[in-house]
Structure 1
Amino acid sequence: MPGDGALPRHALDGAASRPLGFYLHVPYCATRCGYCDFNTYTATELRGSGGALASRENYAEVLVDEVRLARKVLGDDPRPVETVFVGGGTPTLLPAADLGRMLAAIREEFGLAPGAEVTTEANPESVDPEYLAGLRDAGFTRVSFGMQSARRHVLQVLDRTHTPGRPEACVAEARAAGFDHVNLDLIYGTPGESDEDWLASLDAAIGAGPDHVSAYALIVEEGTQLARRIRRGEVPMTDDDVHADRYLMAEERLSAAGFSWYEVSNWATAESGRCRHNELYWTGADWWGAGPGAHSHVGGVRWWNVKHPGAYAQALAEGRTPGAGRELLGAEDRRVERILLELRLSQGCPLDLLAEQGAAAAARAVDDGLLEPGPYAGGRAVLTLRGRLLADAVVRDLVD
């Protein structure tokens, strides 16, 4: 990784035809959830480890330095930013004014496209009506709340600290603050969760009135507290068959309520409610990821930042890129990635991306009820409902 973060000259070839987005990572959490393996830190974990260089109090200033670095690296690239997504961690542990300062730096350095989507994630217990109004005034257009479950005992297994009912109240508060677009994140397959629990969570989420719902199967990552609890036999291991049943429940309930899937784990009530920033990832556009551990992609160049907030802040203070490494994606890499990502979308991926063996596998997948026959005849591979349940296996066959 060059010390100044410079990109190969070819990275911006054809850039005018690709959207540009920003991901801003806020690595702070009040407590660590038992299932989480994201690059996040509690105050205790940062104490005495150099984390003071990028403490919550000065973090916005540090991240703004990387936005300014991005302007230097991208040079005279004229594209305004079309999407901004602030994730974490818990971004809303920072004052709303700090999130606004970070957004203002992007606006000043790059400009925001008309109708730009600006999202922040939020934990339900970390916001109130005044905070949400501050976000809206700063230019945020969308907020995503981590609901996970409506059942207290499920939240306890996940080490979530909010009380049941609080996420639904947050949706109402966000609407009152002027947010047209609100997402609720759900997790299914938590040890101890029953079908009734999951249906109750779906009904609570739908009843809150968001225009977007994300539902993810719980993945037990090595090194997490939940993985250790399962290994000790304190809670049962998750079950793939249960995951499949819960996904079908989600599809049925959400479809009946007017939501349509547009990506395997995401549903929206209208096209305007889709997360455009995530669509930017799934379609291979360009984004700059700012913050510790954030990943970026511009024109077939992918890079990632150092993970620790102290090392991240130190690099920027010394005028160096915080990038830890990068890779240049060749034509074959990009073809495979397009299949991996675009197949998960409701419009699917073009069949002309497939090699000979992958094309034969696609024909078999139609016969097996995994791909829709109509779109296949029109030159696209689109997953059926059954195909969505087996998406990873279908992808493996198609990339051969």
Structure 2
Amino acid sequence: MLTEGLSIPPVDGPFGVYVHVPFCSVRCGYCDFNTYTTDELGEGATRAAYADTAIAEIELAASTLGAHGELPEVETVFVGGGTPTQLPSGDLVGMLRALEETFGLANDVEVTTEANPDSVTPASLAELRDGGFTRISFGVQSVVPHVLATLDRTHDPGRVPEAVRWAREAGFDQISVDLIYGTPGESIDDWRASLDHAIGLGPDHVSAYALIVEPGTALARRVARGEISAPDDDSMADKYLMADDALTSAGFGWYELSNWARDDAARCRHNLLYWHSADWWGVGPGAHSHIGGVRWWNVKHPAAYAQRLAAGESPMHDHEVLDPSASVMERVMLEARLREGLPLGILEDGRAAVPALTDRGLVEVKGDHLVLTRDGRLLADAVVRDLTG
């Protein structure tokens, strides 16, 4: 079972699984994810042993949720990192097979892996596709060399079209490209070049994220020392609008603040599961899980994670149970970001803020939903504060 004293309710509705792979060849200066290069890890946390360790947690998840009776079928799987494709494709397929054998996979299951363009080959992509992966998300970030250098990204932009072509040839149903805008030193022309290149790859989905200078990262230390400037808010807004214009003109539609898809079928169903506060189990060091208002998270270091599972113990570090008020606040924070907007019925005191937000042109009421306008998307965090304040 997961842990003494923590009661996990049965899954009620869509169920997904996130698998965290914490390995990277180089730690990017902007990244504050729970990732490690090989020389940062101790015994018991090797890449060679990782799949078996993750499978041990998958079996733990099945025994925990199986206490309620029939196990939920897995509708989405997302393998993230880190760089999952630092592991052999056979290991990634092996973890997926473990999910199939324990929980069962839905007939239309969406199975995504993240990948760097320089961490795949035609053979590895073919093995992933043949093994059941349906979707791949390439971390491109930029195609401009000096921008990639500031981010400590090591891939060759020239490799990106090859990687996308190989994924198409392997038969992936959906291909996504991730971009980052707002890197210090990135000009408007730099960002336009990255957008044009991404669109030219012919992906089904594009994510464009504003760079956040996270405390404790190498990038934050460089900004603090004055080596590079912090991202400029006005420039970030201009680049977001440029992305929305370019992607819309190319036939993509926004469905979440930072995500655009060719059509509804190309939307990332796994991420939609998060944004709708559905249920998922997070496998891996530092991974978070949520089922029925109960949230828990694993120990962060891969060695500690592996040691606990090897000893037959739960890797859970801590947990929280969301009360009704906290659950409503989370729904507002997450669902306000979506194209469909936020059901007005869940707003409590925040309903009083709606007229002023409407007058400012930040939201509009469509039927029984509150939807961000384009201007509101630029100020989404402020809108949420007003609705939850």
| Corresponding residue for residue 283 of structure 1 | 276
Aligned AA (2:54): L
How many Å apart are 1:30 and its aligned residue? Answer: 0.6
Aligned residues: 387
Cα deviation 1:217-253 (Å, max 9, x = unaligned): 0000111111111111211111111110000000000
Counterpart mapping for 1:204-243 below 5 A: 204-243=197-236
| Corresponding residue for residue 36 of structure 2 | 41
CA RMSD of aligned residues (A): 1.2
The one of 169, 173, 185 equivalent to 1:180 is 173
- Partner SS for 2:34: coil
Cα deviation 1:181-215 (Å, max 9, x = unaligned): 01000000000100000001000000000000000
| Corresponding residue for residue 69 of structure 1 | 60
| Corresponding residue for residue 376 of structure 2 | 387
Indicate conservation of the 8 Å contact 2:2/2:61, yes or no.
no
Looking at structure 2, the residues matched to 111 and 301 of structure 1 have their Cα atoms a distance apart, in angstroms, of 23
State the 4+ residue runs in structure 1 displaced beyond 3 angstroms. 2-7
Indicate conservation of the 8 Å contact 2:256/2:338, yes or no.
yes
Looking at structure 2, the residues matched to 108 and 54 of structure 1 have their Cα atoms a distance apart, in angstroms, of 25
In structure 2, do the counterparts of structure 1 residues 316 and 38 end up closer, same or farther at CA, with 3 Å as the change threshold?
same
In structure 2, do the counterparts of structure 1 residues 5 and 98 end up closer, same or farther at CA, with 3 Å as the change threshold?
farther
In structure 2, do the counterparts of structure 1 residues 331 and 156 end up closer, same or farther at CA, with 3 Å as the change threshold?
same
Unpaired segments ≥5 residues, structure 1? none
Indicate conservation of the 8 Å contact 1:365/1:394, yes or no.
yes
- Partner SS for 1:372: strand
| Corresponding residue for residue 110 of structure 1 | 103
Q: Report sequence identity in percent.
A: 60
How many Å apart are 1:5 and its aligned residue? Answer: 6.2
How many Å apart are 1:57 and its aligned residue? Answer: 0.5
Looking at structure 2, the residues matched to 168 and 271 of structure 1 have their Cα atoms a distance apart, in angstroms, of 24
- Partner SS for 2:147: helix
Counterpart mapping for 1:64-213 below 5 A: 64-75=55-66, 76-213=69-206
How many Å apart are 1:368 and its aligned residue? Answer: 1.0
| Corresponding residue for residue 319 of structure 1 | 312
- Partner SS for 2:90: helix
Q: TM-score w.r.t. structure 2 length?
A: 0.97
Indicate conservation of the 8 Å contact 2:362/2:375, yes or no.
yes
| Corresponding residue for residue 360 of structure 1 | 352
How many Å apart are 1:110 and its aligned residue? Answer: 0.3
Indicate conservation of the 8 Å contact 1:35/1:225, yes or no.
yes
- Partner SS for 1:304: strand
How many Å apart are 1:78 and its aligned residue? Answer: 3.1
In structure 2, do the counterparts of structure 1 residues 40 and 218 end up closer, same or farther at CA, with 3 Å as the change threshold?
same
Indicate conservation of the 8 Å contact 1:6/1:73, yes or no.
no
| Corresponding residue for residue 27 of structure 1 | 22
Looking at structure 2, the residues matched to 335 and 237 of structure 1 have their Cα atoms a distance apart, in angstroms, of 34
